[in-house]
Every structure is written in C-alpha cells, then in structure tokens.
Structure 1
C-alpha cells in the first residue's frame, strides 16, 4: 500500500458524503487499481486535475484505504486454499482473542483472518501447496495453541472476489 497515508483517528463516525463522481471513481478503482490518472479522467470525462483531486480526497477521507495486487497463489506454488474455523477455549477471552489474532495473522500461509460471531470465533483463510500442508498448518499453528478448543477445515474449490474489503479498525 505505498503512497497511502495512514487513516487519521475517526472523530466523526458518519459515513463520508459521496457524490456521483466519487462513486464512479470508487467503482473504477475497485475494478482496476492501476488505472492511470489520465485514463481515469478520460473514463470520467473530467480534467486530469479533477480526477486526481477527487481520488486524493477519497484517500484523505478514508474511503479508499489502499491499492492491492491480486496474486495468483497457484503460480506461487500455493494452489490449495482452505478456510479453517477456529473456536477458542472459554476463559480469559479477551487475552486469548488478541494473542491468537496476533500470532496467526503473521503466518505466511494466512491470506485473511476474520474475527466473527457465531459458532466459530475466527475464520482463517490460508493458501498452501497441498493437502498435507493444510494438515500441518492446522496441527502446528492452530491446534497446538493453548487457547484453541476446536478447528474445522473446509477446502476451497473455487474462489471469486468482487472487491477487496478494507481492514476493520
């Protein structure tokens, strides 16, 4: 996420006002984050300075939080993806939630980590080379943690992404 300034602390929790041009810019950038400013301006039928100022305003207001590369995990030798549901043990919940998230989010196999409500506490989205690597990840990095009670693994057959979600704060 180079070139993106950290989002300032939120003082006003209302949604930022977006006009039609802002919404069009967000849609275009969600489809192609690498579009040049000149091409963005031409698509919007506005001056390049207008496109740049409006895009910069969206970044400054925290609407656009970064620009991301979509990576083909299979070409990196990590063609098997899985979602692992994790339930933590009762007791000292806050500490175990924080510790679990801090440890797991740093692992190179982890693409996404979701702290959720429901029967699981977390969903861990991983990409690895093969089935034995899924097993090894679950056994060594999840089940071995003292605060993990259970895990439930689902293999991903197909993956479709419509947008990149911003991190929760």
Structure 2
C-alpha cells in the first residue's frame, strides 16, 4: 500500500498511534477529528491491510540490566542458502539480539544487541556469536547515545 492510498485522516491516525499505541479510541477520534465509530473502523481497516502490523510496549533496557547497545556488522564466509539460513535461525534464538538486518556493502548483516557492559559483550561474543557457524569476520561499535528511535517513516503529502 502506498502513501497515496492513505488519506489525511488515515495519516493522522497513524501518526498518533505511532506516538501512543495505548491511546483510547475515543481520545484518538477526538484528536483526528472523527467520531469514535468511524475512527475504530479506520484503525481496523489499517490493521487488516497490514499498515498497522502490531502494538508493543517500549521497555527500558537499563532497568532490565542490559543498558548498552552494540551494533555488530558481520561478514559470512559463504552466501549459500544453508549458511544464510543457519545464521538467521541462530540470531532468532538469541534474546539479546534486538534486530538483524541483511545489508548491502562490505558487511552482510548488521545486528543490534543489548548487553550488560563490556563483560556482557565479551560473554555474548565468546559464548554465542562466535559459536555461530559461517561467520568470517565481525566489527562492533557501542552506541554512546541514541538521538532518534522511531519504528516507521510516514511520508508527508
């Protein structure tokens, strides 16, 4: 679905929900200029069309004991189906792996990992990442500060 098929009300609904997924339908309707029933119908339609894929809570990593975020770039030693599939399955098994992106360029994947300091990072590398078959090389960077963190981009008309 392209942005062109979303009218201004749909776009307002999406912007509000992306900032506060727990907003009540009544509040959402007031803020986008609809009555509750048509607003609810639009939200349901956006869900059914797959524009809204899920709702979730944003958790505080620091309070959960894994405050440091590390971005790890990985090169696989081969790119056959088995190596790629094995790598993907292994990433899904690791709870500290927050995101995995297949990328273009020098590195094959970029992985976002939550760890408890440098010791937690070393443990993740030795006990988990380096045990995944097919990895030729990795390069890591600790995130010092996150300036922006959004889940989707909604182009404006």
Normalising by structure 1, report the TM-score.
0.84
* 23 and 115 in structure 1: CA distance in 2 versus 1, 3 angstrom threshold: same
Please list, as runs of the form range in 1=range in 2, the aligned pairs for 1:13-52 lying within 5 A after superposition.
Answer: 15=2, 17-52=5-40
Rounded Cα–Cα distance in structure 1 between residues aligned with 2:81 and 2:103 = 14
Rounded Cα–Cα distance in structure 1 between residues aligned with 2:74 and 2:94 = 15
**Structure 2 residue aligned with 1:70, among 35, 40, 58?**
58
How far off its partner does 1:22 sit? 0.5
For structure 1, list consecutive stretches of 5 or more residues without a partner in the other structure: 1-13
CA contact (8 A) 2:83 2:134 kept: yes
For structure 2, list consecutive stretches of 5 or more residues without a partner in the other structure: none
How far off its partner does 1:97 sit? 1.1
Rounded Cα–Cα distance in structure 1 between residues aligned with 2:86 and 2:122 = 22
Equivalences, count = 152
CA contact (8 A) 2:115 2:121 kept: yes
Rounded Cα–Cα distance in structure 2 between residues aligned with 1:152 and 1:64 = 34
CA contact (8 A) 1:41 1:47 kept: yes
Normalising by structure 2, report the TM-score.
0.90
Q: What do residues 119-165 of structure 1 show as CA deviations (whole Å, max 9, x unaligned)?
A: 11111111111101111212222222220000101001112444224
Alignment RMSD, CA only?
1.7
Rounded Cα–Cα distance in structure 1 between residues aligned with 2:98 and 2:17 = 22
Rounded Cα–Cα distance in structure 1 between residues aligned with 2:57 and 2:131 = 32
Rounded Cα–Cα distance in structure 1 between residues aligned with 2:125 and 2:105 = 20
